[in-house]
């Protein structure tokens, strides 16, 4: 699978920057080009790697919000891998398709 780094992220940023100013996908506060920002994912990459490059799954996020979210998502992933129980936070994610099995997420 294609990696979320380098040129791929640069291309995504060129698209998402056209959406700014917009609200952060995490804190709902305004994000503009003068602030440190990243391309975030509405449904996290660990949960649905198949949606990594789906533009409708992207959202602008403040860098600090994204970093804080990454720590929380790491805990959710660890819990899912340990228990096999789908995170309640994503129980009704409006994204079609099959969810990955826990064994494919530990790689």
Local structure of 23: helix, strand or coil: strand
Bridge partner list, 58: 41
91 vs 24: CA distance, rounded Å: 22
pLDDT digits (tens, 9 = 90+) for 62-76: 999 999 999 999 998
pLDDT digits (tens, 9 = 90+) for 15-59: 999 999 999 999 999 999 999 999 999 989 988 899 999 999 999
Query: Binning pLDDT at 50, 70 and 90, where does residue 89 land?
Result: confident
pTM for the whole structure: 0.78
């Amino acid at each position: 699978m294609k990696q979320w780094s380098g040129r791929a992220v640069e291309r995504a940023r060129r698209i998402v920057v056209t959406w700014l100013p917009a609200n952060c996908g995490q804190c709902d506060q305004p994000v503009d080009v003068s602030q440190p920002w990243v391309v975030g994912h509405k449904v996290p990459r660990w949960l649905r790697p198949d949606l990594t490059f789906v533009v409708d799954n992207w959202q602008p996020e403040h860098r600090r919000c994204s970093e804080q979210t990454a720590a929380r998502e790491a805990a959710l992933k660890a819990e899912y891998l340990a228990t096999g129980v789908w995170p309640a936070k994503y129980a009704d994610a409006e994204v079609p398709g099959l969810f990955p099995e826990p064994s494919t997420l530990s790689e």
